[in-house]
Amino acid sequence: MEASEFRRRGKEMVDYIADYLEGVEGRQVYPDVKPGYLRPLIPSTAPQEPERFEDIINDIEKIIMPGVTHWHSPYFFAYFPTASSYPSMLADMLCGAIGCVGFSWAASPACTELETVMMDWLGKMLELPEAFLAGKASQGGGVIQGSASEATLVALLAARSKVTHQLQATSPELTQGAIMEKLVAYSSDQAHSSVERAALIGGVKLKAIPSDGNFSMRASALREAMEQDKAAGLIPFFVVATLGTTSCCSFDSLLEVGPICNQEGMWLHIDAAYAGSAFICPEFRYLLNGVEFADSFNFNPHKWLLVNFDCSTMWVKKRTDLTEAFKTDPVYLKHSHQDSGLITDYRHWQIPLGRRFRSLKMWFVFRMYGVKGLQAHIRKHVQLSHEFESLVCQDPRFEICAEVILGLVCFRLKGSNQLNEALLEKINSTKKIHLVPCCLQDKFVLRFVLCSRTVESAHVQQAWQHIRELADSLLRAEKE
Amino acid sequence: MEASEFRRRGKEMVDYIADYLEGVEGRQVYPDVKPGYLRPLIPSTAPQEPERFEDIINDIEKIIMPGVTHWHSPYFFAYFPTASSYPSMLADMLCGAIGCVGFSWAASPACTELETVMMDWLGKMLELPEAFLAGKASQGGGVIQGSASEATLVALLAARSKVTHQLQATSPELTQGAIMEKLVAYSSDQAHSSVERAALIGGVKLKAIPSDGNFSMRASALREAMEQDKAAGLIPFFVVATLGTTSCCSFDSLLEVGPICNQEGMWLHIDAAYAGSAFICPEFRYLLNGVEFADSFNFNPHKWLLVNFDCSTMWVKKRTDLTEAFKTDPVYLKHSHQDSGLITDYRHWQIPLGRRFRSLKMWFVFRMYGVKGLQAHIRKHVQLSHEFESLVCQDPRFEICAEVILGLVCFRLKGSNQLNEALLEKINSTKKIHLVPCCLQDKFVLRFVLCSRTVESAHVQQAWQHIRELADSLLRAEKE
């Protein structure tokens, strides 16, 4: 395919995309297919000769769409939102065309420099402490990671490297293995599974701190676990505090946990994957109070800030903490400016070497929406979640299971887990809306999350009406 | 921005992209900017109010393009190619619009299933042994990773987990720390820096095996290192063999190294990041002989197979080796089909949780080019590299520094490193073409890599003419 055909096909694709997103509400949100549906629909080997574009594009509706879960349907209330906006898609098109690989400043200066400045823009939108911004004379700065999982892993590895160097400086006889065996990381029992995974990869212990009645990690529980571990000869080194947990969007107490981390010399990483976007609204910024105690902070604009996946933004107070943990410098990656101190080689900040020009998405989205437009998007979701909450509260058969702070409502039928599992099964097999569950204090709970950019009150009302009807028939069947 | 404006702006962007790529030859391949150029050109904070799209698109030429290294210019001969093709860009547009996050089968069945089938298509194009294909009853299969660095890390972590379980099964008193302290991984001294990094992250030792005169890892050197380590009480567990090293595109001897790994129960991972794409041509497939000894195999279609970044394809013989190393299963990610054995939850195969619908790019590219079209692309680059090689050979002032097998020519002026550093400095400051160096047996060497999809003989001839002229003036100045 040459440029002339791309001009034609690209424009057709633009229309296809606009049609898809304008019409997504009319598609069944969750697919009917069974595992293994796709393989019989396509050949078992690649074609030897080129095919026509028409045949490929026709196969999208025939083969792909029947197996798609439509994350951008206004009837999709599962997991957490994944961002989608037209400015972001336009930026991604440009990113693909420039197609640079930004592992070093020299590999494409614009790619590195726009990222640094966009991370400062976003940091300022969140009112992050100066120490996290790249600014002029700062030691900190931001980087775009692919996912919050990677950010957590990178933070844990940096913390592991830092504590290992510190311990070996005073006790040179300690081997890395001897140290690693004693290192302990902590997170709340509500933390995301990726924290467990980061510890697994990093080869260190992870202790889950029991959260309180509000599903929040508090000082007392952390301190107790830590003191026990210290008494047993272990070395506490890393704490992940979650702002907006996956199960119920609860918040660990940064103002309590932060000072302990600082006193004890433990690295504090904040995972605000979902909730972080809300902190651009002054009325939600208080949820980030205590960030000043953290060594690293991460959230996902690709969840709730209209920047398409992937864009997980991470800030550190001391960038050398990352770069010293990861630096390897072969000749083929050296360049003449790298020792100038003015520039950033982002490959030392992350797990992969290569990286796309992802800051273009941030630039397009921030400019096309403006801060006010982004705030309006957050506020709409929060308002709709409270609308859903009040609907649930009006029906005495149901209960709310966790405080509704942002765009997630945890609710259930008063009654057994079995009953609620049956309700969810009914909802997801009817496929008019899509939800996923969670488990809170051994209770099976339904999560209702505002996800789509285009979701409105009418969808929420319909969803609730639908849930009530399914509950009606379920409870009727139970009585019979 | 709503759908109607996206229809208009998207089409403008399609034209901008086509114009950019059609005209990229006319742009200076390497930018003139100095570190820090960008920050003064844009505001220090995000705008409060939305801006107009015109203003943003105008800033692309004013602010971004002056700082871009043009990886798709036919005068770009640096690093390795990064793939770019129109069908791939079209698929990426669609991927952004569907915008699903494919961490589990249920999260979007098409996303998972197309990936499995595309990995089989590509595996068959390479004539991989059946054991690596997902097929029907196989234990193996393929997954798209973000980069070869991640694939190496994932393989190392799986190998670490496997050997740890094996050792603990016979000696339950062994702690993970005690085992990790003894684990040793091996790779050639020519292996990519990401191997060193994977070992650093995994907390295991890495020994660099001295390569032979052809920059190839051979049996004798590996066996010697391994026997020494075993005698010292260490546990060899993991070997990375590189096919197509970054410095000079040399090949480790799989047929020698493979059997040793199998005999000794060491995991063999093959990193063919660049060279792998060439194995779709029957005349280069011999370079992959010995893959049958490997546990995992990886290469980057996003380098040389016209699939835009990121798309790093990895196959394993036993998928449970990966999934057992990474599995964590919270309630909110459980779904009704996951225990059926028919389906794949790719989140257990990789470091991040989230993942894009990247197999669409493979599907579009394989179908729009056909295997023959992809082979033609590989063959053109190899032919042009031999053309450049023969030009170098005709000039007695120059020497070829490593056998030219695929699309990379390592060459230098006969003489000091200083002289060659000066030549490269001249080349890269003139900015007519762009190259990066490497170091081979303490010699400073220039790497000439065929990168652009649109590079032709005329560009190679011009590049060589230009290098000769710069060498002329350099040698003249030396004599004076």
- pLDDT of res. A339: 47
Chain B contact for A232 (CB, 8 A cutoff)? no
CB-based contact A18 B3, cutoff 8 Å? yes
pLDDT tens string B12-25: 999 999 999 999 99
Q: Minimum mean pLDDT among A79-88, A357-366, B35-44, B348-357: which range?
A: B348-357
Does the structure show a pLDDT above 50 at B339? no
Strands B183-188 and B205-209, by their bridges, are: parallel
* CA-to-CA dists, residue B56 to A109, A283, A374, B24, B66, angstroms: 19, 30, 17, 21, 15
- Mean pLDDT split into 10-residue runs, chain A, 480 residues: 95 98 97 94 97 96 97 97 97 96 91 96 97 86 95 96 94 91 96 94 95 97 97 98 97 98 98 98 98 98 97 95 76 59 78 91 98 98 98 98 98 97 97 97 97 98 98 90
- pLDDT of res. B480: 79
* Residue positions counted in chain A: 480
Chain A contact for B290 (CB, 8 A cutoff)? no
Q: Which of residues 377 through 436 in chain A touch B, CB cutoff 8 A?
A: 436
Chain A nearest-CA residue for B196: A328
A417: enclosing H helix or E strand: helix A417-430
pLDDT tens string B195-211: 999 999 999 999 999 99
Structure tokens at A223: 């301190």
Distance between B263 CA and the closest CA of chain A, angstroms = 27
ipTM score of complex: 0.95
d(CA B367, CA A1): 11
- pLDDT of res. B346: 86
Sheet order of strands, A141-145 included: A141-145, A312-316, A296-299, A267-271, A235-242, A183-188, A205-209
Structure tokens at B223: 């066996």
- pLDDT of res. A1: 87
CB-based contact A10 B89, cutoff 8 Å? yes
Residues from chain A contacting residue B88 (CB–CB below 8 Å):
96
The pLDDT of B340-367, averaged and rounded, is 87
The pTM for the full model equals 0.96
Name which of A7, A67, A329 is nearest B110 (Cβ-Cβ): A67
pLDDT tens string B383-396: 999 999 999 999 99
* CA-to-CA dists, residue B207 to A178, B182, B227, angstroms: 20, 12, 12
* CA-to-CA dists, residue A326 to A157, A298, A321, B80, B160, angstroms: 9, 19, 9, 22, 20
CB-based contact A16 B94, cutoff 8 Å? yes
Indicate the DSSP class of residue A29: S
Mark B293-329 as b/e (b = at least 16 C-beta within 10 Å): bbbbbbbbbbbbbbbbbbbbbbbbbbbebbbebbeee
- Cα–Cα nearest to B122, from A140, A255, A44: A44
Name which of B4, B22, B367 is nearest A51 (Cβ-Cβ): B367
d(CA A391, CA A383): 13
pLDDT tens string B424-472: 999 999 999 999 999 999 999 999 999 999 999 999 999 999 999 999 9
- pLDDT of res. A72: 97
Q: Which of residues 234 through 263 in chain B touch A, CB cutoff 8 A?
A: 246-247
What Rg value do the Cα atoms of chain B yield, rounded?
24
Name which of B45, B147, B176 is nearest A352 (Cβ-Cβ): B147
Q: Minimum mean pLDDT among A308-312, B223-227, B347-351: which range?
A: B347-351
For Cα atoms B268, B141, A193, give the angle at the middle one, nearest 5 degrees: 90
- pLDDT of res. A176: 87
